[in-house]
């Protein structure tokens, strides 16, 4: 459940970064359920009142890994 604290996107569970420690200048998608339809790209130093602190377990829920390159014969 949202705690509605204000915090930086880089520390928010909805900041779609694969980094363990996103920087303030990193740009990533905001995946907050009510904002996701807007396809927002936000910087790590941005923030809003839908902030929820991210846990280590949230990191693996980020963007899907890239598909492996096809093999060339």
Virtual CA dihedral for 8, 30, 54, 48, nearest 10 degrees? 40
36: how many CB neighbours lie within 10 A of its CB?
13
- Confirm or reject binding of residue 47 to ligand SF4 (CB under 6 A): yes
Q: How far is the CB of 54 from ligand SF4 (least distance, A)?
A: 9
Q: Among 48, 58, 59, 62, which residue sits at the site for ligand SF4 (rule: CB under 6 A)?
A: 48
Residues near ligand SF4, by CB under 6 A: 9, 12, 14-15, 30, 32, 35, 42, 46-48, 50-51
């Amino acid at each position: 459940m949202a705690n509605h604290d204000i915090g930086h996107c880089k520390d928010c569970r909805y900041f779609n970064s694969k980094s363990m420690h996103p920087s303030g200048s990193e740009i990533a998608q905001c995946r907050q359920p009510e904002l996701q339809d807007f396809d927002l790209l936000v910087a790590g130093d941005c923030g809003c009142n839908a902030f929820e602190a991210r846990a280590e377990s949230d990191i693996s829920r980020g963007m899907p890994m890239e598909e492996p390159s096809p093999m060339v014969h």
